[in-house]
Amino acid sequence: MRLPLHLQAQLASGLRLRGQGYTTRFAPSPTGPLHRGNLRTALLSWLEARLRGGQWLLRIDDLDGPRNRPGAEAAILNDLRWLGLDWDGPVVHQSARRGLYATVLSALRQAGRLYPCRCSRRLLADVSAPHGALAVYPGYCRDRAPFWGAQAGRLPSWRLRLEPGVLRWQERGGPCGGQDGPAAVGDVVLRRADGVVAYHLATAIDELLMGISEVVRGDDLWPSTGAQVAVMATLGCPPPAYAHVPLWRDSRGERLSKREGAEGLAGLRSRGMDAPAVIGCLAASLELVPPGSRLSARELASSLSPEAVKACQDPQRT
């Protein structure tokens, strides 16, 4: 696919960056305070970066305006600082990169890789949010004459026309990741009917341009990976490696969720825990240290080997 030259140059420089050393990122959405599970994933990805002498970048996934909560980003940054999880370089905001995403979208559209879709979300129960139900779109609008304007006051969403075949990626601690494009992923929405750039598009572009060599994130996002790999493949780029790490589950086996107000640092602090106690508790839940340990994030990093951090991400363990 022919991309504008400046975009080609940006993608090439992202791939070069990727080749220069280990870079990972933590990418919270500012929809509420981080809970214990998010903090544990943040700690794990931070440990990976520090133990490998790499970079830990912080990206705020704040494209979906109505879902953002006032003050949530400041609280997230404060929590990370309080725990001693220091990030490299400036905080990246997806909301500041809308122009970039729009350039990619129009290049994909001009190249005939997208089509307008007028199926309502309700009809399909199909959402592009990271934790939404990932229904496979049945392709109703795929072969309709492409009309991109408004109809009955509604603009279409923009879908990526997926090629047949399996989308593969390297998954650490497990077999190679893969999802069949048409059967398991479907033609994904890259721009929603309300004009919001979809999570899959923004995330795929950012992993490429930020030079991410390995994405470390919760295993609830494993099913989103095929769609992101598809976007990267359309742009002619190989995906980074992925490590989808086990989520912290409650005693009933349910994953903790921001929406249900799973306990964050505020709650832990109100129970009198200081940062070394919280780091000890997060690390103990990963069996990296004995329960009741107290230590700073730096002390934890210097006491561990990369093998120990890798072992605690084994999908067979919880």
The residue ranges that bind ligand GLU (CB under 6 A) are 27-29, 61, 130, 203, 217, 221
Spatial contact of 115 and 159, defined as CB atoms under 8 Å apart: yes
C-beta closer to ligand GLU: residue 61 or 79: 61
Q: Is 169 left (phi over 0), alpha (psi -120 to 50) or beta?
A: beta
Report how far residue 244's alpha carbon sits from residue 215's, in angstroms, rounded to the nearest whole number: 8
CB of 220 vs ligand GLU, minimal distance in Å = 8
- The least distance separating ligand GLU from the CB of residue 59, rounded to whole angstroms, comes to 8
User: Looking at beta carbons only, is 61 or 280 nearer to ligand GLU?
Assistant: 61
Q: Do the strands 55-60 and 92-93 form a parallel or antiparallel pair, or are they unpaired?
A: parallel
**Which residue has the CB atom at the shortest distance from ligand GLU?**
61
Nearer to ligand GLU, 28 or 226 (CB): 28
CB of 38 to ligand GLU, least distance (A): 7
Say how far apart CA 33 and CA 69 lie, in whole Å.
9
Q: How far is the CB of 219 from ligand GLU (least distance, A)?
A: 11
Geometric angle at alpha carbon 71, from 297 and 194, rounded to 5°: 115
Measured from the CB atom, is 62 or 289 closer to ligand GLU?
A: 62
Smallest gap from Cβ 231 to ligand GLU, in A, equals: 13
CB of 203 to ligand GLU, least distance (A): 5
Closer CB to ligand GLU, 27 or 104, in the complex: 27
Closest distance to ligand GLU from the beta carbon of 160 (Å): 17
Nearer to ligand GLU, 87 or 115 (CB): 87
CB-wise, 83 or 117, nearer to ligand GLU?
83
How far apart CA 226 and CA 310 sit, in angstroms, is: 23
Give the C-alpha separation, 217 to 202, whole Å: 16
- Strand 166-169 versus strand 177-180 pairing type: antiparallel
